[in-house]
Amino acid sequence: MVAAEVLFTLGYAGLRGSDDLRRLVEGTPVTTIVDIRLSPWSGNRAFSARTRQTVEEAGLMYLHLRDLGNLAHRSGGTEIKNIEAIEDVLALVDAGAAAALMCACRRPQGCHRTHVADEAVRRRPGLRVVHLVPNERSHDD
C-alpha cells in the first residue's frame, strides 16, 4: 500500500488509549492522525484533553482540523463546518504523509468522516479510502 494513494479513517470509540490506537494502525503506513472533531473534548479521557498526548504516545503525529468538524452532530445530521479544509488533508497526502481522519464514531457508516473522505476522493479521483475499525478493515474502492 503506497501511503500517498490512500486516505485512512478511524474512530476512537472503544479505544482506551495509545496502546489501542497503536494496535489499530499497526500494519498500515499511518503516521499522522487528523482529528476532525469540532472540539477535542470527549467522555473518553484518552481522547479528550489528552488527545495530542495519546496520539503522540502511539508514535504518531497529531493535527486538529476543527473546520472539518460536523456542525450538525447533535441532531444526527451532517454539516461540515468548512469542507474546503479538506485541501489541508490532501496537501498532507500529496506530500506523501499517510494520514488518518479521526473522530469519535467507531464505524464509518453514518459518520461525518465518511462524507469528508468522499469529498477527498471527489477532489482526487483514484484516491482510495480505508476505514480502520478495531478487529476489521473496511475498504471503499
CATH number at residue 53: 3.40.1010
- Could you give phi then psi for residue 46, rounded to 5 degrees? -65, -25
* Residue 70 CB coordination number (10 Å): 24
pLDDT tens figures, 52-107: 999 999 999 999 999 999 999 889 899 999 999 999 999 999 999 999 999 988 89
Domain that holds residue 16: 3-140
- Whether 19 and 46 have beta carbons less than 8 Å apart is answered as no
Q: Which three cell numbers stand for residue 72?
A: 450538525
**Number of domains the chain is built from:** 1
pLDDT tens figures, 41-51: 777 777 888 89
